[in-house]
Amino acid sequence: QDLIVSKLPPEDEHPSETGEIRVAIVGRPNVGKSSILNSLAGEERALVSNIPGTTRDALDTLVTINGTVFNFIDTAGLRRKSRVENDIEYYSFVRTLQAIDRCDVALLVLDAEEPFTDQDKKLAALVVERGKGIVLLLNKWDLLGNNEKLGDSMRKKFRDEMVFLQYAPFAFISALTGRGMHRISEQILHVAENRNRRIGTNQLNRLVRDILAFDTLPTDQKGRPFKIYYCTQSGVEPPTFIFFVNHPDLASPAFENHMEKALRGLEDFSGTPIRIFWRGKEEK
């Protein structure tokens, strides 16, 4: 397997010089990734079959939609590691990870008849860990009938099952009938813009003052107080914020989640993860 990886061509991790938005289409085998690609491209560009694993490699397809160029990367379905049975499957697995690394936004395709599986969650986590934008597409919606309450129940299940992705856009689609397909390019573009969004330092520090004035700050058993001196945004893709504090170790995961929610309340960061770092600064 290491030999296979060594033979793969290097992937360009730098932004595209032509300005296109790179989009990885990812998901479990046989959820309809290639059908979605073909629908978006308007032609048969990827092999479509009901046999899981038909698409073994990553395929790049340039498509211009309403003046925006998208580079769609269709990938082999990501299986559970216990089912990666041979070198070809491992090659496809590595290609999927490389496609995520290359992309700006990932379309995570779920099967409407079997959504939110453990493998779906693990794949979503890979996208988030790499700081990529994400849009969830619940495909094959046409197979579930016309129950008016189904959409609400599916949204509730999404909130319950994928708590760490509450900021992600979520759409019901059918690559077969075309339902919801025309909105996908707009969702990708919106998430890509959010992934490059910035908040001014003055606005950030107004937020810090509000937090200090009205929120309960962390402490520890020794009674050490937690102080936030200021905050700055250090980067984008994804938006990254640094809080300068007196005791970084007091910033618990719960408090970090609280701060992320507050940051998301300042601007539209739907579809993009946010990075938060705590830096120590000696109190003068």
The tens digit of pLDDT for each residue in 236-281 reads 999 999 999 999 999 999 999 999 999 999 999 999 999 999 999 7
Mean pLDDT, to the nearest integer, of 154-162?
Answer: 93
Query: Which stretch, 54-63, 76-85, 175-184, has highest mean pLDDT?
Result: 175-184
Architecture of domain 201-280: 2-Layer Sandwich (3.30)
* Superfamily for the 2-195 domain: P-loop containing nucleotide triphosphate hydrolases (3.40.50.300)
Token readout for 60 is 């790049």
Whether omega before 238 lies within 30 degrees of 0, making that bond cis, reads yes
> What pLDDT does residue 87 have?
62
Dist. CA 246–CA 282, nearest whole Å: 6
Distance CA 87, CA 97 (A): 15
Residues of the chain with CATH 3.40.50.300: 2-195
Which two three-digit tokens encode residue 170? Answer: 């979520």
**Residue ranges, CATH 3.30.300.20, the chain:** 201-280
Helix 184-195 × helix 33-41 angle, to 10°: 100
Token reading at 66: 């309403």
Beta-carbon contacts of 140 under 8 Å, excluding residues fewer than 6 positions away, are 31, 32, 111, 112, 113, 174, 175, 176
pLDDT given at position 53:
44
Mean pLDDT of 41-47: 61
